[in-house]
Structures are given as structure tokens and as C-alpha cells.
Amino acid sequence: MPQPTATVKKYSQITISLGSFFVPFMLSALNLALPAIGQEFHTSVYLLSWVTSGYILAAAAFLVPFGRFADINGRRKIYLYGISLFSFSALLCSLAWSMKALIAFRILQGIGAAMIFSTGMAILASVFPPEERGRVLGINGACVYTGQSLAPVLGGGLTQYFGWRFIFFLMFLAGLLIIYIIKAKLKTEWIGAPQEKFDTPGALLYTIGIIILMYGFSSLSHWTGGKYFLIMGILVMFLFVKQELNTPNPILQVSLFTQNITFTFSNLAAFINYSTTFAIAFLLSLYLQVGRSYDAKTAGFILLAQPVIMAIFTPQTGKLSDRFQPRILASLGMGITALALFLFSFLTYDTPIWLLMCYQVIVGLGFAFFAAPNNNAIMGSVPLKFSGIASSAIGTMRLTGQTVSMAVVTLVITSIAGDIELDPTHADLFLQSAKVSFRIFALTCFAGIFASLARGNIKYTNKLVEKTREV
């Protein structure tokens, strides 16, 4: 295969960086718009949570199948389809006429996001040689955290001055720009496994299993039938694992989880971390706007502290993980995060804003110490031929963890306050629910420290890794 030209390198980085900025930007900005959406549609907290949960669930369910499908049929093609679907569904969201319509369009947008998540990093890895890859991936990571950092301020301002629908319309316009760059400037295709067969049964079992499993968990608070979906999901995922162990070209290399301790516990730690931290922005957004009557713009400035710290320190901790064992740094980050979650559980409506921002700085620092070293541990624990699967595993842990995080919050709120609407008259019940949620997250995150430490050092002593690295 010919070496990529300077033009291909330039526009591939521009394209992936734009996607890496706008996708997390929208997810974070939407947290500031949730109260406005709830007021317009007069909806309950349960339905409002599905604006976020539906999107994440769809992305989690399709990420692994689309990643494998792109390896076989072309990464540029799937990335282009993903951006197109993401931007078109954003336009539909801006025109939503009801809460159910908005949730349906968000699910569609999540499918598009799965195509983007599963191919962006793979394209960069295909274009840039190993000696340039660290720098390029560092720039890509900076775009992710810059999007998250600007989202609270810009999202809050857009919601306050133009309305929540404008956020979706802006994403539609951004999608059109990325589509233009791909069509006009990036014509090269990258196919990683052109001769291999796509595991259709495995893909169907995985997608159906994740959807049923996570929907069942998310519905436990609102519907007694949720527990049956949860059981069905577990059974389907068992069939998926059986299918993957008996197919020559699986969409997910299950043996990595069964034979590689470092890989297994690093992914478990990632799942625990995301499941305990993702709902922080959701809870604090409602705390500030519903409980303390701040407008969306002001709330956005207050919520800026955490992502800014993450953006500043994550590249530095990533470099540290090249010198020190990732499990030490990641475990330290998990401990710092658990402390911050514990402090959040003491919030009252009289808590000084400066103190709330200090708590955010602590959790941002904890996440910075955890994320990059943990990702380094996952990618460093597998042979190069499995790097695509490892990347998909990271994305899957992130998205499923985020789904669980929102499900826990919804379960707690509906258990304590019932199916309430976002109204200042229910502020005390919401605060009580938020404090219980933070306590649950703090305890779970503390337990995650031991999962993080259990991974061991990265010395490639695992038999599977030793054998495949020799190939």
C-alpha cells in the first residue's frame, strides 16, 4: 500500500479532529439544555434522562459491530456514513415536536456516533506511522477535551439566548462541513481486513444483547418488567460469547478477556470509572438550574472547572504513564475521584459556589490521572494485531458505563421522589436523590481502586500476549 501523502495526512487529521471536537461537545452541551427541554415538553426526569441514555445506549450497542464492519468494508466509508447520519439526526432533533420524537431521533444519532467512534482512531492509526502516532493521537485527545471544556459555556449561552434547538442545528451545520471535507479532500479508503468474513450472527447477538441488557437496567426504576429484560439480556450475551469463541473471525476477541488479566481488569476499571462519573454533569446541571435557579449560561461557567482540569492534565498523565506503571497512576486517579464523589454527597443549596468548583477540580484531576494511563494499559497489554479490538473495548466500556451511570441516577430519583417533573417545588427531593447517588458512586469508585490495582504491571507475561507478539 502506498504511503499517505501530506495532503491525506492533513485532511484526515482535520476531519477526525473536527468529529472528535463536535461529538463530545454536543453531549456535554446538552446537559445544560436538559432543564429547558424538560420545561418545554413538561416531562418527567425519567423521560428526560433518556435524551442522554437513548443516545449512549445506541452508540454502545453498535460500536463494536461497526468497528469490525469498517475493518472489512472501509473505514472512510463508515466514518462518512456516521457523520451523515449524526448530522441529519441532529437536524431532526432540532425539529422534534414531542419528547418521544426527540428521544427517537437521539437514538438515531447514537447509531451515527457509533460509526464515528469506531473508525476515527483507526483512520489516524492507518494514516500516520508509529513515530508520529503519539503526537497525532495527543492532538485528537486535546480536541475531545476542548469540546468538553467549551460545551458548558457555549451550550449554556446558546440555550439561554437561542434555545436548546439551536444546539442541534449547529451540529447539523458542523456535520455538513465535515462531510464536505471528506468528499472533496479525503478520497483515500482504508480497509484493514478485506478478505475476512463479517460475523453477522455475532453482530446481531451483540447488538440485541446490549440493547436488552441496558434497557432492562435503565427501566428498573420505572417498570417492573425491566428485570425480565435484564435477565434476557444476560442470556443473549452468553450466547454471543459462545458464538465468538467458535467463529474464526469474531467481531470481538473474547479470549483477550479470558486469558489477559491486565486487559480484563483495565477494562473493568474503565467501566467502573465511567459509570460513577458520567452523571456528575447531569446532576450538577439540575442542581444549579432547578435547585439554585441559575440560568443556563451561568451554570455553564460554573461547570467549566472539571473539563478544563481534564484538558490540562490528561496529556501530562499520559506521558507519565510511559515512565511509571499505569496501574499506579490510574489507581491514584480512581482514589481521587472517589474522594470528590464523597464530597459531592454533602452538597446543600447553601454550599458556596467556589467550594463546588473546588470539588469539580478534584474530580477533574482524578479523571485526568485515570483516563490516559488506563487507556495506555489497555492498549499496551495486547499485541498490535488486536489494537483495533482494544480500541473498541475502550469505547464500549465508556458508553456502557455512561448508560449505567444515568440508569443509577434515574433509579435513585424515581425511588425517592417518584416520577416528578423538573420544578423548583421538588428541589429538596431532587437534592436528596442527588446526594444518595453521589454516595453510591463514591462507594463503587472506591471498590474500583482494587480492580485497578489487580491488573498487575505491564510486562506482557500473559501467555496469549507473548505468543501473538512473537508472530
State the residue for C-alpha cell 464523589.
341
> What pLDDT does residue 328 have?
86
Amino acid at 42: H
> 3-state SS string over 125-170?
HHHCCHHHHHHHHHHHHHHHHHHHHHHHHHHHHHHHHHCCHHHHHH
Which residue type, as a one-letter code, is found at position 324?
F
Residue 380 in grid coordinates: 499496551
pLDDT score for 435: 92
CA angle 345, 347, 351 (to 5 degrees): 155
User: In the prediction, which pLDDT does 344 show?
Assistant: 94
Residue type at 132 in one-letter notation: E
Contacts of 394 (CB under 8 A, 6+ apart): 267, 270, 375, 378, 379
Q: Residue 466, class by beta-carbon neighbours within 10 Å (0-12 exposed, 13-18 middle, 19+ buried)?
A: exposed
Note down pLDDT in tens along the chain; length 471 residues: 456 677 777 777 788 888 888 888 887 788 778 888 888 888 777 778 788 888 888 888 898 888 888 888 888 888 999 999 999 999 999 999 988 899 999 999 999 988 988 887 777 777 776 556 556 666 776 677 778 777 777 777 888 788 889 989 988 998 999 899 888 887 777 777 777 788 888 889 999 998 888 778 767 666 677 778 888 888 998 999 888 888 888 888 777 787 888 888 888 998 999 899 888 888 888 888 887 888 877 887 888 888 788 878 877 777 777 677 778 888 999 999 999 999 999 998 889 999 999 999 999 899 888 887 887 777 677 765 566 667 777 778 887 887 788 888 888 887 887 666 666 777 788 888 889 999 999 999 999 998 888 876 665 434 444 444 333
Task: Give 20's contacts (C-beta < 8 A, 6+ positions apart).
Answer: 120, 140, 141, 143, 144, 147
In DSSP notation, 301-348 reads: HHTTHHHHHHHHHHHHHHHHTTTS-HHHHHHHHHHHHHHHHHHHTT--
pLDDT of residue 458: 62
Distance of CA 150 to CAs 144, 248, 317, Å?
10, 45, 21
Q: What is the pLDDT of residue 462?
A: 41
